[in-house]
Structure 1
Amino acid sequence: MASVKDSSQSRKKSWLRVFLPALLVLLWVAVAGVGGPYFGKISEVSTNSSTDFLPQSAESTQVVQQQGDFYDGNTIPAIAVFEAEGELTGEQRAYLDALPGQLKDTGVVEGQTSPVIYSEDGQAAEIVVPLPGDDTPSDAVETISSHLQNTPDGLNAYVTGPAGFAAALGEAFSGIDGVLLLVALAVVFVILLVVYRSPILPFVVLLTSIVALSGSIFIIWHMANAGWVQINGQVQGILLILVVGAATDYSLLYVARYREALTHHRSRFDATANALRGSWEPIVASGGTVIAGLLCLLLSELSSNKALGPVAATGIVLSMLAALTFLPAALALGGRAVFWPARPKYRENTKPTKPGLWSKIADFVAAKPRKVWIFTAVGLAICAAFAPTLSADGIRQSDLIVGQSDARDGQNVLAEHFPGGSGSPANIIVSEATLDRAVQAIESVDGVDSIAAISADSPSGTVPVGASAQGLPPMFADAKPTVSNGRVLLQVTLSDPADSPAAEDTVENIRQALDDADPAALVGGETATDIDTNTGALRDLKVIIPSVLLVITLILMLLLRSLAAPLMLVCATVLSFLAAIGVSALVFNHVLHFPGADPSVPLYGFVFLVALGIDYTIFLMTRVREETKKVGTREGMRKALVVTGGVITSAGIVLAATFAALAVIPLVFMVQLAFIVAFGVLLDATIVRALLIPALVEDAGKKVWWPSKLAKRDV
């Protein structure tokens, strides 16, 4: 009777062991089925408008909010620019004179196009074309560009201005949903094939990334749709890469434990339980640390940086959940078969293995630890010495696109034949009572070409004021500036291109000049937006970097129950980051010849490298602490390095490869971030984790655990 009962319980237990993993897999498949379609919908809740990400207190933001009081509709100007090989011919001028009406008939123009404006040298012309400003104007710009294909011989046409550059950005980000994801998955798959030498296991690991990403996209779409976060193309791209990389990293850690457990357990279910016990703590600890570091971005003034915090944190949470539920369940169902053809075999007595690469590295470090860490630290410090050469104080809008850009070519033509700021004026709101004084103050600033006021009475929509009003044609005789709530909106054309450093200096000087003439004046426009964005980004560097370091140090203190080890580890990680920035600066300045970098580049690089670098530190040091209790600190360090070295290096290669995939997006920001993080992760996962930190721990011995009990006794 007892044997029948035992047999029944055994069958029930076996049934549950199969049913529960199958249920988990089905639940995640359902998540992927629901979340998958949102890959194509995420652009619906994204915006690439720079003013959308500035704080409400920024002058340029306030101007955008208030300028709608002065004219109907929300528009963004495109500038159609034309350049002849010599002086414009009669045929070319006739074509241009008829063009404003033809452009109006395309159906994409919002409002009245400007008349043709000819350059003084007679070789170029421009037409300002207002387009709908609600969404990225890619379709409207494409329509205008298509209409300009049939120009007379010898006349080249370009579409530039704010709408032209916005369309270029939209086109650059258009590959995020498809190309970027496919490239990242393909690169990871190839690496996993090499690591596992199995055609089945890489698919299971990639499925873990895909289900995690599907769940993340679903949640984030609803967060953005509810207005909780504002996301743009760069946040989308980073999310895709981060989830694929993090989920794969956590999967590598679990698979390593599972493979090891299969050699000690006949039952694949017992091996699963053993692997989960050994891997959940370091995965949760490392993931929690990354999340804490990412959430420090909530301290940012810029909504784009602020949004990346919760968005990326959501991705990390889903990556951990998938790696600790879907992956174990799928591997439990597949058992040893998923490792085919190199299936791990059960061994009752594990025979000592021949010393491998990591045993040799561990012996090398243990033999002369002080020399190893000194030489390694000096090498990193030499690389770090070049970090200040990275010019991260902003980059011109015309330099954002990598490769050919119609908008940039058009901007160059504008700068050659017209005042550089044509079509992208500084928008300034002043009081009607101080209008004359404000205009005089603006005219006193070097770099101002002309001033006009928005006017509902004018055929062109504006009326020149100040010195620009002298000798006005009859069409402006009765035109007066539009007044709204006692305010007037001025459009100030600058002598230099709107995205140039000279234009930024001019706008800064205008703001200073208006402090006395009209303290309530607000200065906005493209140039002012760039200034306010860079100011916010530089402020974020000073606030977020110390916050991330503080949070991660505190978490390491709690995890390792030590003060000495966390301080040492954080210093090593910061040195690694500075070395990565130094090498990146050399590559950007002397190999790729980039004109500079956005302030967000070192900020994002720091957050990802420090947070993800600490990720590998936790994998290593939690194992060191575990082994220290058995064999002492120095031998524990050696054993931990041997066991985790291969996993950490593989994880680093995978994460570096996924971030390198960001370079397929033809934007300087993305290419720079891809290189910094990819190189930095490789540096961290190899040199720092393999040599610097092990050598420091070997040299310090049990003192590394001060003031915990492990510092007072060593096995």
Structure 2
Amino acid sequence: MGPVTEVRRAAGRGGPEGPEQDGPSPPGNKNVRRAVPWAVIALWVLVLVIALPFAGKLGGVTRDEAVDYLPGSADSTRVQELVEKLPGGDTVDAILVHHRDSGLTAADRAAAREQVAEIAGKYDLTGGDAVPRTVPSEDRTTLMTPFSIAGLPDEKAQIEAVTDIREQLGEAPEGLSIEVGGSGALQADADEVFESIDGTLMMGTAAVVAVLLILTYRSPVLWLVPLVVVGVAAVSSMAVIYGLVQGFDLTVTSMSSSVMTVLIFGAGTDYALLLVARYREELRRHERPYDAMSAALRGCGPAILASSGTVALGLLCLLAADLNSSSGLGPVGAVGVVCALAAMMTLLPAILVLLGRRVFWPLVPVHGAEQQQRRSLFAMMGTSASRRPATVLVTGTLLLGALALGMFSLPGPVKQEDTFTNKPESVSALETLGAAYPGASSQPITVLAQTPQADEVARRARTTEGVANVEKGRSGGGWTEFSVFAEDAQESEGEKDAIRALRSGLHEVPGADALVGGPSAQQLDLEQTNSDDRKIVIPLVLLAVLLILIALLRSLTAPLVLVAAVIASWGAAMGLGGLVFEPLFGFSGLDPGLPLLTFVFLVALGVDYGIFLMHRMREESLKGADVPEAAVTALRTTGGVIASAGIVLAATFCVLATMPMVMMVEMGFVIAVGVLLDTFLVRTYLVTSVSLLLRRWVWWPGKLFRRDSARVPASGDG
């Protein structure tokens, strides 16, 4: 494209297709220019008409049951699946908590007995028709009544049961608190949060993107075009995901649906920014918008394709994860990126071509006008890096390394009650129980065993170290259920040790096929599975990204530099998280899946900006520029749009940080910080400095390296 561009600049004409100003174009060319954009828009209108009904159904197939967030091969997952097949189906474990700071009165106790009896009379409680046992605290301030409801067909009915019980309890007398806690209540509160997320997240993300596009384009119309196209991509992706759920039983959780929304808006807007910037540049060289858009697509199309391919392939690597929520997130996110790519590479160009130059008003690019070579911020950055590249590289690397040390301050695994940023009733109930029954577990560990060996399993469980009590539950389908209570508080190290001891001992019972599950065991399995998944998925992501970069840049050195750069950004962002999560945000735990998911997103998304920069640098090198000149030119021409894209992407993930779930806040923070570090420090200074130091070796062993080697004498700087 280099020689053609030079001819156009010199002659003010459109290249091999003939004059752009002198005389009319052939009728066939005019007809093509008019027909193609309209045909593309008509096709997308048809897609939208078909997609809208299915997109609206996605919320109905989104699943947030415990098994959807569990590892596929873990004991706790099998327990969760098997208890649904026992008589009465899956159970809802809940705890009724009555508390008065000054001590419970006789009237309080009478009211508690009456309420417990009402619950037992209305619902099928495990253990028959007996009223659940109420346990008073030693200080006489609290009554704890654990119960399990059976016979509820699905998650929706279980949540409705908890909600109904809360409403049935009514308003407590002054000074008395009546709360429903336990895993069932936690699930009900989580469901309420997830229900509020979808609409809020979509509107919030759209508003953020709209504001940033208005500030970027300074046009009353242009900002609306990418926003509309992103909306079309979002609807299309929702319809495709719904089809995958119906056809392949794909697991879609509220978290993966939320991340997909943010990803479509963030990545899609990034592609739009890059394309529109190149289109504006080409409009100064071409009279007709159609020709300018064709040149823009040829110029930045490969970079956008490689960028989206990197993100999609990186996300698809999550399919190798054992954790159901992670493996489901992979294809959901990949579909979103592909739909965003398709819309931005077809629908956006078609609309822009039909609207013509006037869409840029009041800053309309004039054909034949030279672009003003202003002393931009990024030109100054490139110049400063070129003066002392080694100093810049060492300083930047030391800064990132210092930030990464904050990873040693990251909090431990988050507990169930700490998954919310606010304090719902279920969490408040757990805190009350923790204060009134110090060191005791109010949440059972579920054990399943083959019925013929049930008595031996129960005996072994009772003699296991760390176990306080064992209660026999239901039997059916050849299995028997037990509720095991640990001596230590739930999710404490003591309870974890008891779970490990149970698994070790019960697995030795011949023919029992004993399984240990329940909420605490699920958390333990989540920690282990996420650790195992990191060892598999991270190498796959790095390999996939490297292969795409090698194919695009025709080099081994440049891809290795870019991958090392994004890993450094991720480490620094995680380190910053370690410095602020607990001291500033008050988060006492880290979601076990955070390191893996943020790594995948930051490597895949962060490489985007490296692709934009290095692809333009390679383009300038193909025109004959040496590496230092190409690096500075690439930074000057793409720095502004990369900065805008980085700010947009970071801002969209910041919307996640406004959600009332700790996992989403942590993910939004780490990805947003990582993107900003990558945009303004790593990409601008460090990658440019490395390129200046390596010179032609940055293209090794490609043809650009060989070409420059032929130019340099044997005594050259190499």
Q: TM-score, normalised by structure 2?
A: 0.90
User: 1:438-457 to 2 correspondence within 5 Å?
Assistant: 438-454=457-473
Output one character per residue of 1:10-39: Cα deviation in whole Å (capped at 9) or x when no partner: 455434423321232233234334434555
Give the C-alpha shift of residue 116 in structure 1: 5.2
Q: Does the Cα contact within 8 Å between 1:159 and 1:406 map onto a contact in 2?
A: yes
Mapped to 1, the partners of 2:440 and 2:307 lie a distance apart of 49
State the partner residue of 2:106. Answer: 90
State the partner residue of 1:661. Answer: 655
Aligned partner of 1:499 among 457, 468, 491: 491
User: 1:591-630 to 2 correspondence within 5 Å?
Assistant: 591-629=584-622, 630=624
State the partner residue of 2:414. Answer: 395
Q: Does the Cα contact within 8 Å between 2:93 and 2:182 map onto a contact in 1?
A: yes
SS where residue 430 of structure 2 aligns?
Answer: helix
Q: Does the Cα contact within 8 Å between 1:209 and 1:319 map onto a contact in 2?
A: yes
Output one character per residue of 1:346-405: Cα deviation in whole Å (capped at 9) or x when no partner: 12x5266232222222221222212111111111111122223324x5210000011122
Q: Does the Cα contact within 8 Å between 1:419 and 1:495 map onto a contact in 2?
A: no
State the partner residue of 1:123. Answer: 141
Give the C-alpha shift of residue 449 in structure 1: 2.2
Q: Does the Cα contact within 8 Å between 1:95 and 1:152 map onto a contact in 2?
A: no
State the partner residue of 2:566. Answer: 573
Shift of the 546–421 alpha-carbon distance from structure 1 to 2, 3 Å rule, reads: farther
Give the C-alpha shift of residue 295 in structure 1: 1.1
User: 1:371-386 to 2 correspondence within 5 Å?
Assistant: 371-386=391-406
Shift of the 424–37 alpha-carbon distance from structure 1 to 2, 3 Å rule, reads: farther
- Given residue 439 of structure 1, which amino acid in structure 2 is its aligned partner? A
Mapped to 1, the partners of 2:68 and 2:130 lie a distance apart of 26
Shift of the 114–649 alpha-carbon distance from structure 1 to 2, 3 Å rule, reads: farther
Aligned partner of 1:489 among 477, 481, 500: 481
Shift of the 556–402 alpha-carbon distance from structure 1 to 2, 3 Å rule, reads: same
- Given residue 598 of structure 1, which amino acid in structure 2 is its aligned partner? D
Mapped to 2, the partners of 1:684 and 1:174 lie a distance apart of 33
User: 1:332-371 to 2 correspondence within 5 Å?
Assistant: 332-347=353-368, 350=370, 353-371=373-391
Q: Do residues 707 (structure 1) and 701 (structure 2) align?
A: yes
Give the C-alpha shift of residue 507 in structure 1: 0.8
Aligned partner of 2:428 among 409, 416, 419: 409
Shift of the 208–176 alpha-carbon distance from structure 1 to 2, 3 Å rule, reads: same
SS where residue 272 of structure 2 aligns?
Answer: helix
User: 1:665-704 to 2 correspondence within 5 Å?
Assistant: 665-704=659-698
User: 1:54-453 to 2 correspondence within 5 Å?
Assistant: 54-68=70-84, 70-103=86-119, 114-115=131-132, 117-121=134-138, 122-127=140-145, 128=147, 130=149, 132=152, 134-136=154-156, 137-347=158-368, 350=370, 353-391=373-411, 394-418=413-437, 424-432=443-451, 434-453=453-472
Q: Does the Cα contact within 8 Å between 1:262 and 1:271 map onto a contact in 2?
A: yes
Shift of the 484–552 alpha-carbon distance from structure 1 to 2, 3 Å rule, reads: closer
Mapped to 2, the partners of 1:20 and 1:561 lie a distance apart of 33
Output one character per residue of 1:102-160: Cα deviation in whole Å (capped at 9) or x when no partner: 34677899986843514143432244252636124443322222222333333211111
Mapped to 2, the partners of 1:342 and 1:80 lie a distance apart of 65
Shift of the 221–512 alpha-carbon distance from structure 1 to 2, 3 Å rule, reads: same
Q: Does the Cα contact within 8 Å between 1:53 and 1:230 map onto a contact in 2?
A: no
- Given residue 514 of structure 1, which amino acid in structure 2 is its aligned partner? L
- Given residue 552 of structure 1, which amino acid in structure 2 is its aligned partner? V
SS where residue 589 of structure 1 aligns?
Answer: coil
Mapped to 1, the partners of 2:148 and 2:558 lie a distance apart of 62
Q: For structure 1, which segment, 99-108 or 164-173, has the greater mean C-alpha deviation from structure 2 after superposition?
A: 99-108
State the partner residue of 2:18. Answer: none
- Given residue 503 of structure 1, which amino acid in structure 2 is its aligned partner? E
Q: Does the Cα contact within 8 Å between 1:431 and 1:488 map onto a contact in 2?
A: yes
Give the C-alpha shift of residue 333 in structure 1: 1.0
SS where residue 712 of structure 1 aligns?
Answer: helix
Q: For structure 1, which segment, 37-46 or 234-243, has the greater mean C-alpha deviation from structure 2 after superposition?
A: 37-46
Shift of the 573–422 alpha-carbon distance from structure 1 to 2, 3 Å rule, reads: closer
Give the C-alpha shift of residue 279 in structure 1: 2.0
Shift of the 66–632 alpha-carbon distance from structure 1 to 2, 3 Å rule, reads: same
Mapped to 2, the partners of 1:286 and 1:551 lie a distance apart of 12
Mapped to 1, the partners of 2:523 and 2:685 lie a distance apart of 43
Q: Does the Cα contact within 8 Å between 1:415 and 1:496 map onto a contact in 2?
A: no
Q: Does the Cα contact within 8 Å between 1:75 and 1:133 map onto a contact in 2?
A: no
Mapped to 2, the partners of 1:351 and 1:214 lie a distance apart of 37
Q: Does the Cα contact within 8 Å between 2:449 and 2:515 map onto a contact in 1?
A: yes
SS where residue 665 of structure 1 aligns?
Answer: coil
Output one character per residue of 1:543-596: Cα deviation in whole Å (capped at 9) or x when no partner: 111221122122222221112222222112211211111111111132113112
Which ranges in structure 1 are unaligned for 5 or more consecutive residues?
1-6, 456-481
State the partner residue of 2:65. Answer: 49
Shift of the 409–320 alpha-carbon distance from structure 1 to 2, 3 Å rule, reads: same
Output one character per residue of 1:277-328: Cα deviation in whole Å (capped at 9) or x when no partner: 1121111111111111111111101111111111111111111111100100
- Given residue 414 of structure 2, which amino acid in structure 1 is its aligned partner? I
Shift of the 238–178 alpha-carbon distance from structure 1 to 2, 3 Å rule, reads: same
Mapped to 1, the partners of 2:632 and 2:477 lie a distance apart of 74
Mapped to 1, the partners of 2:275 and 2:422 lie a distance apart of 41
Q: Does the Cα contact within 8 Å between 1:398 and 1:499 map onto a contact in 2?
A: no
Shift of the 433–73 alpha-carbon distance from structure 1 to 2, 3 Å rule, reads: closer
Shift of the 55–351 alpha-carbon distance from structure 1 to 2, 3 Å rule, reads: closer
Q: Does the Cα contact within 8 Å between 2:75 and 2:517 map onto a contact in 1?
A: yes
Shift of the 108–509 alpha-carbon distance from structure 1 to 2, 3 Å rule, reads: closer
State the partner residue of 2:10. Answer: none
SS where residue 155 of structure 2 aligns?
Answer: coil
SS where residue 18 of structure 1 aligns?
Answer: helix
Q: Does the Cα contact within 8 Å between 1:21 and 1:333 map onto a contact in 2?
A: yes
Shift of the 351–16 alpha-carbon distance from structure 1 to 2, 3 Å rule, reads: closer
Give the C-alpha shift of residue 91 in structure 1: 2.0
Mapped to 2, the partners of 1:202 and 1:377 lie a distance apart of 37
SS where residue 485 of structure 2 aligns?
Answer: strand
- RMSD over aligned Cα, in angstroms? 2.5
Mapped to 2, the partners of 1:241 and 1:152 lie a distance apart of 45
Mapped to 1, the partners of 2:114 and 2:133 lie a distance apart of 9
Q: For structure 1, which segment, 323-332 or 376-385, has the greater mean C-alpha deviation from structure 2 after superposition?
A: 376-385
- Given residue 547 of structure 1, which amino acid in structure 2 is its aligned partner? L
Which ranges in structure 2 are unaligned for 5 or more consecutive residues?
1-22, 712-718
Q: For structure 1, which segment, 667-676 or 420-429, has the greater mean C-alpha deviation from structure 2 after superposition?
A: 420-429
Shift of the 354–53 alpha-carbon distance from structure 1 to 2, 3 Å rule, reads: closer
- Given residue 359 of structure 1, which amino acid in structure 2 is its aligned partner? A
Aligned residue pair count? 681
Q: Do residues 510 (structure 1) and 528 (structure 2) align?
A: no
Mapped to 2, the partners of 1:360 and 1:372 lie a distance apart of 14
